[in-house]
Structure 1
Amino acid sequence: MKKKISQFLINNEVSSKRALIEAAFGLIFIFSWNMCAYRLPKIIAADWYHYDMTLPVDDLVPFAPWTITIYFGCYIFWGVNYILAVLQKKEERDRFILAELIAKGICFALFLLIPTTNVRPDVSEPGFWNWWMTFLYNVDSPDNLFPSVHCLVSWFCWIGVRKRKDIPFWYRAFSLVFTLAIFVSTLTTRQHVIVDVISGALIAELCYMFTGIDKVRGLYSKLSSAVSGFVTKKLDQKREKNKQCQNSNS
């Protein structure tokens, strides 16, 4: 297993210290910006008028509380696929990270420009699945719905692996199927409506296309290179200092 991981990193040019630092920096940047882009609009627009984008077609989608297992299960999926997405050659890694950051910026803007909400079903009757739905509704208020961040992030999970020949075909196929299952679960748990789902996937895809432009991607590449260079230098200086201390003590 250790040899396979090492070979995977070597094949994707992520075996060097600087490359691993850039990958870690990207994940930290994504997570931090995600928290800001999602949480701040909830606070800022809390008392604003919220629009309901529910369409007649949404009423045709059945309410299926058991699909909350898919809705919650996505967090593990996100973690695995985002790690895979940043463990690839610099050009593709930077493209993915920048696309994700831009997409979250668009979400931030839309959450403020078009605050949204929806009407959730009554889940007060006792029952295993109703208990979990009640828990979900209590921890996640019905706002920041357009676009669906759940669907946007899941589509990025598919983007991050879909053309990767170094990742087994079965896992790439699974990623697509599970991404679509997450789309469905956002509807069947009444967390989102169809407009939210489509917009989430569309924004992710358009942002990824946009960051395919060399000059656009280059902006983030310069930042990540500067950060990795700075951190690497500091780590090397610290290691050299510790080495000198050990030599002097001996």
Structure 2
Amino acid sequence: MKTEDNILIARKNSLKNRWLLPSAAVIIFLIPYTVVNNLTLQRNTISFIPGEQSIPFLPWTFIIYLSAFLQSLFVMYHLPRPLLYKTLLSLSIAVMIGFILFLIIPLQYPRELYVNNNPLVILFRKIDRSGNCFPSLHIVITTVFSYTYCNYEKSKLKGFLMWLWCAMIIVSVLTTKQHYLIDVLGGIALAIPTLLHIRKQNFLSVVTENS
């Protein structure tokens, strides 16, 4: 009986430890992100790229947009620890560059053009102000985590579903009117060297034993 209890306790502790780092990573990201977004800066709006305003405003896609946090937690939970540590290191460099660009290029999105009474939209826009536009870190994070997961995960179906999830998040960045199209392009531009760094360091061949 004691052996079974010990096994149960060990499983609970293991589960707790596996969630600890992912949860901490999200919190560590959100704190400086919120601080930068609430700084009193002279934030400017910019002209839309031709055709950009034809992209529809779809409030229900906020669910997809917010699912990026769930995706991040999912990937961090399933990656082996050594691979996760090194992926987070590469990603943290990209995020810091993003924060610096937020300060150097203090843009804001003209959300007043897309007023909506949806409670989810109202709540989210109160929490997440209209700054922190260029580049879109949503794009950077979802792309890096999708890439890392799909190269680790052997199932083609799971890989396809992860990239589909990633694509939906990228589209939602525009349909929620959270970002300019140029922000999305900036996010992709920042994600590319991060992915190349991951590949160069051969992070995806990390031994998964004892993970």
TM range (shorter): 0.7 to 0.9
1:223 aligned partner: none
Deviations, residues 136-163 of structure 1 (Å, cap 9, x unaligned): 2222110001111221111122122121
The normalised TM-score by structure 2 is 0.75
Map of 2:184 onto structure 1? 197
Structural mapping, 1:31-180, within 5 Å? 31=26, 33-44=28-39, 46-52=40-46, 54-85=48-79, 87=80, 90=82, 92-120=83-111, 121-124=113-116, 130-166=118-154, 168-180=155-167
Q: Is the 8 A contact 1:38 1:108 kept in 2?
A: yes
Letter in 2 for 1:78: S
Q: Which runs of 5+ in 1 are unaligned?
A: 1-19, 218-250
**TM-score, with length taken from structure 1:** 0.65
State the AA in 1 paired with 2:71: F
Mark the CA change 1:176 to 1:104 in structure 2 (over 3 Å): closer, same or farther: same
Partners of 1:69 and 1:24 in 2: CA distance: 22
Pick closer, same or farther for the CA change 1:165–1:76 going to 2, 3 Å: closer
Bigger mean CA deviation after superposition, 155-164 or 105-114: 155-164
Q: Pick closer, same or farther for the CA change 1:69–1:78 going to 2, 3 Å.
A: same
Could you tell me how far apart the structure 2 residues matched to 1:37 and 1:201 are? 21
CA distance in 2, matches of 1:58, 1:209: 29
| Contact persistence 1:50–1:116 (CA under 8 A) | yes
Structure 2 SS opposite 1:151: helix
For residues 36 and 138 of structure 1, the distance between their equivalents in structure 2, rounded to whole angstroms, comes to 16
- Read off the aligned partner of 2:133 and give its amino acid letter: L
Larger Rg: 1
Aligned length: 188
With over 3 angstroms needed to count, the CA separation of the structure-2 counterparts of 1:131 and 1:36, relative to structure 1, is closer
State the distance in 1 between where 2:67 and 2:123 align.
15
